[in-house]
Amino acid sequence: MTRDQAIAHAHECFDSGRFKQTLARRISMPTESQNPERASVLAGYLQDEIRPAFEAMGFSCRTLTHPKAQAPFLFAQRIEDPSLPTVLGYGHGDVIRGLESEWKPGVGPWSLTESGGCWYGRGIADNKGQHSVNMDAMRAVLETRGRLGFNAKYLVEMGEETGSSGLRELCDEHRDLFKADLLIASDGPRLRAERPTVFLGSRGSVNFDLVIQARDGGHHSGNWGGLISNPGIQLAHAISSIVSATGQIRIHEWVPRELPDSVRRALADCEVDGGADGPVVEPWWGEPGLTPAERVFGWCSFEVLAYKTGNPETPVNAIPPRAWARCQLRFVVGIDPEEILPALRRHLDRHGFPMVQIQSTRETMFQATRIDPDDSWVQWAVASIARSTGKKPAVLPNLGGSLPNDIFTDVLGLRTIWVPHSYPGCSQHAPNEHLPPSILREGLGLMAGLYWDLGDGNTPA
């Protein structure tokens, strides 16, 4: 049996319709982790759907829990020989709320539906489709070779969309159980739909509120205009001190000192493209002197996510007493996360805005992670994917978005290689989540090739 036969077997699983049937069954389960009424569905996805699939491949499975987690975790492992490389996989079976009424006619969140050459359904991109690809690719290798040729461990959680509560503590308590040589997992989008991609970490993310509470109530703008401060104007100026009119961050603690050469080299041939339905890159926005890929994958970005003062729905002739903005910093390796908000406080005070309060939000802070693109395991994975697809993969030092990747790098001490099976225009977290099926088919083949090479005995030391 050969590598090409394993890839062909993975493709046959797709072409025969078996993969679509499996994915349709999983999408039909409304695993909304933000909805307390779905607790039994979250547990059922692991127990009734994922566990049997792993056990059919000779994995031993156990359910893990943690008091901080709203839902259980499934851990599966197949140890063929302790002397072989051990690879940890990860996926999440929970999804964002279905938003049933907002999908376009003919498609919906809880059924896999084909429309316009794409497959629609909640979780097809994030993350049911992606971990289903990896599981079936592993099965194709097993059925072709008769063994994996490496030790496989897999962790599936059901709370990623609510911040992965308990995952860090679980990994800390079970370090020996999750011990491996590296993590290979799939989440997030490719750089472009047609280009296989590898990313090696994720940007960190912190959300916070900026608030000015000037007084208890509004006051007539004719009687008091020019006599009392306007919080909306003050907050706008405070924000403009943080970021320029072209999006350049002005707080030096919020930007890295430099862009490493290995990161520049990796991003040199990466073109950011959201596809036909995505926005057009505006070259004048953000840090000057950087390419679009360097700005989103190698640098930090500050965003105002929402802004409110007065009554936007029914404005009145009154000076508002309060202004509020929800803000976000996406940051890369090299930024001290403990210094982000203290640095902001110093900056606002220095620029004459002591009246601006900085308030934390409920969202979890994600830490920034990045594996060196020159790492031998990274180069091995890139070569494997190129061999399987005949395409040069894009190598992103980190995802532009955020994942709990630091749990794997910092808690478990693993190299992390993410191979996404989605694309930027997939509408994850929104109505009409979808994927071109060609991405899933190509993903099955390239992952079968990757898993075959893991068991071929030519992995890095």
Who contacts 30 (Cβ-Cβ below 8 Å, separation ≥6)? 38, 41, 95, 98, 109, 110, 122
Report helix, strand or coil for 450. helix
* pLDDT single digits (tens) 241-294: 999 999 999 999 999 999 999 999 999 999 987 777 778 899 999 999 999 999
Instruction: Indicate the average pLDDT of the chain.
Output: 96
Give CA–CA dist 315/309, Å, rounded: 10
**324 phi, psi to nearest 5 deg:** -145, 140
Closest CA to 62 of 51, 49, 78: 51
CA atoms within 13 A on the CB side of 370: 26
The confidence score (pLDDT) of residue 439 equals 98
User: Domain 3-202+368-454: what homologous superfamily?
Assistant: Zn peptidases (3.40.630.10)
Secondary structure letter of residue 281 according to DSSP: P
Total count of residues recorded for the chain: 461
**Cα–Cα distance list, 4 to 14, 438, 448, 452, 455 (Å):** 16, 19, 9, 10, 14
The confidence score (pLDDT) of residue 364 equals 80
Give CA–CA dist 182/35, Å, rounded: 33
Give CA–CA dist 30/38, Å, rounded: 7
Give CA–CA dist 152/412, Å, rounded: 16
Quote the tokens at residue 71. Answer: 């839902």
Q: Dihedral, CA atoms, 417, 421, 426, 429, nearest 10 degrees?
A: -60
Question: Alpha helix locations (H) across 174-291?
Answer: 221-224, 231-242, 261-267
The confidence score (pLDDT) of residue 319 equals 98
Whether 449 and 388 have beta carbons less than 8 Å apart is answered as yes
CA atoms within 13 A on the CB side of 86: 17
pLDDT at 124 exceeding the cut of 90: yes
pLDDT at 381 exceeding the cut of 80: yes
Percent of the chain with pLDDT over 90: 95
* pLDDT single digits (tens) 51-84: 999 999 999 999 999 999 999 999 999 999 999 9
The confidence score (pLDDT) of residue 365 equals 87
Give CA–CA dist 324/239, Å, rounded: 11
The confidence score (pLDDT) of residue 10 equals 98
Give CA–CA dist 50/155, Å, rounded: 11
Whether 341 and 267 have beta carbons less than 8 Å apart is answered as no
Structural domain boundaries of the chain? Answer: 3-202+368-454, 204-249+300-360
Sign of the Cα pseudo-torsion (65, 126, 56, 49, in order): positive
* pLDDT single digits (tens) 127-166: 999 999 999 999 999 999 999 999 999 999 999 999 899 9
Quote the tokens at residue 342. Answer: 């203290």
pLDDT at 20 exceeding the cut of 80: yes
Other beta carbons less than 10 A from residue 226's beta carbon: 7
Give CA–CA dist 60/208, Å, rounded: 43
Return the CATH class of domain 204-249+300-360: alpha beta
Confidence class of residue 225 from pLDDT cuts 50, 70 and 90?
A: very high
Give CA–CA dist 219/236, Å, rounded: 20
Secondary structure letter of residue 86 according to DSSP: E
